[in-house]
Amino acid sequence: MDRHTILLVEDSRFFGQMVRDRIEEELDLSVDWATSMAEAISLIEARSDDYLAVLHGLSLPDADEGDMARYVTEKGLPALVFTATFSNESRHRIAALGVADYVLKENPKAIDTVLDTIRRIRSNPDTRVLVVDDSPTALTKIRKLLQAHRYEVLTAADGKAALRIMDEVPDIKLVLTDFNMPSMDGFELTRRIRENFPKDRLAIIGLSSERDEMLSARFIKLGANDFLKKPFIAEEFYCRVQHSLDMLQQIETIRELSYRDPLTKLANRRCFFESAQAFIHRAQQAGERLCLAMLDIDHFKKVNDTYGHDTGDAVISNVATLLDTAFPEGEALTARFGGEEFAVLLRHAPERDPVLLFDGFRRTLEQSPAHASGGNISVTISTGLCLDISGSLHQTLSAADENLYRAKEQGRNRVVSGVCELKD
Ligand SMILES: [Mg+2]
């Protein structure tokens, strides 16, 4: 369910307006603005499913300190609380209410913090977290903290149950594990998880109330990303969890950058070489045929020279989009090899003729000009096919490349397979 609205409960006109404007402008969310707890309650009763989070002052004109936060968290909504004071005592009081975050109103950075928290709450439902602890009290506490930030939470009371869940549920991003548990301790669990899940795909945070100073170092040596000593305060918990998940996200971004062509979002050459063997293996298992095509846009230099590089980029993107549509992911491994050159490794049913498939693409491209600032630009493409992929990937590529060369030599805008040849 998509939630697109923030409920703001604030009686100060000036402050409320500023917060509302920034949420609407920077997060592209809508804001319902109530000025009292009574008004907020009637809004929540009417449309609580629309609210992503409730942002409110700790005290309101018609409510005592904490009343609003208590009501909001009971409704299962993340509460983000503004406070005017920030003593240790009040901090503990607010944290005990299970709020998602609280910030000092006077701090000029307060709204930035709130916006960051809202961004996370918006993306967290896609993040699966597994909590492993033999203490039901600890499990409940940690689950509540995570749910206040809308993470998807799974729990296990011991290591064996945890491993079973890891086996069955895909895409868990973070495991929080206690150290001291019966039958399998947190060290052993960490070690076992790491046999299948590398550190750059899944984060592990060790937890323990033991006084042993060596615990954190040992957890990390066994593959945990971080360690958190029990008891902890909510802020530290959220910081550590977020830090570990941010790291994973950054690695994912780097991976994306190094494997995707930034212009077309297709795989790049490196990704093609790394993924090809597994792709071929899967097709062979499924009893399908494979072919490899090398494609090169005809007279591309002329496009760049005549219309400039922006138009050249538009032409390349257009070809990439059409390739992606004609040969969708799963059926094909399509890569931009460099410049105006593309490679397509295609799995197909034995009765389908790849020469016809790529000739079909050639015709589609002829009829689908790129829309650029210089107008509609039509290009054609030459294709070299290799229908026999029993050799090495290298041999297959150079056979396709040779046929591409022939296609160019024979006048371009055609498919050459070495077996048969199609042209207009
Ligand atoms: Mg324990």
CATH code assigned at 386? 3.30.70.270
Report the helix count and the strand count for the chain, using DSSP H and E: 15, 18
Alpha carbon of 179 to ligand 1 centroid (Å): 6
Query: Are residues 43 and 135 located together in one domain of the fold?
Result: no
Q: Which domain holds residue 109?
A: 5-122
**Strand order in 381-386's β-sheet?**
332-338, 341-348, 289-297, 381-386, 415-416, 421-422
Domain assignment present for 95: yes
Q: What is the pTM of this model?
A: 0.72
Alpha carbon of 172 to ligand 1 centroid (Å): 22
pLDDT (0 to 100) of residue 125? 86
Q: By three-state DSSP, how is residue 421 classified?
A: strand
Query: Are residues 293 and 372 located together in one domain of the fold?
Result: yes
Residues acting as catalytic residues: 340
pLDDT (0 to 100) of residue 115? 93
pLDDT (0 to 100) of residue 421? 44
**Residues lining ligand 1 (ion), CB within 5 A?**
134, 178, 180
Number of domains, the chain: 3
Domain assignment present for 263: no
Query: Are residues 322 and 397 located together in one domain of the fold?
Result: yes
pLDDT (0 to 100) of residue 176? 98
Alpha carbon of 55 to ligand 1 centroid (Å): 35
pLDDT (0 to 100) of residue 270? 93
Query: Are residues 246 and 337 located together in one domain of the fold?
Result: no
pLDDT (0 to 100) of residue 358? 97
Query: Are residues 200 and 131 located together in one domain of the fold?
Result: yes
pLDDT (0 to 100) of residue 419? 54
Query: Are residues 86 and 15 located together in one domain of the fold?
Result: yes
Query: Are residues 326 and 229 located together in one domain of the fold?
Result: no
Query: Are residues 211 and 313 located together in one domain of the fold?
Result: no
Query: Are residues 26 and 103 located together in one domain of the fold?
Result: yes
Which residues of the chain register pLDDT less than 70? 1, 419-424
pLDDT (0 to 100) of residue 1? 55
Domain assignment present for 187: yes
Query: Are residues 229 and 277 located together in one domain of the fold?
Result: no
pLDDT (0 to 100) of residue 422? 47
Alpha carbon of 158 to ligand 1 centroid (Å): 9
Range 193-228 burial, b when 16+ CB lie within 10 A, else e: beeebeeeebbbbbbbeeeeeebbebbeebbbbbbb
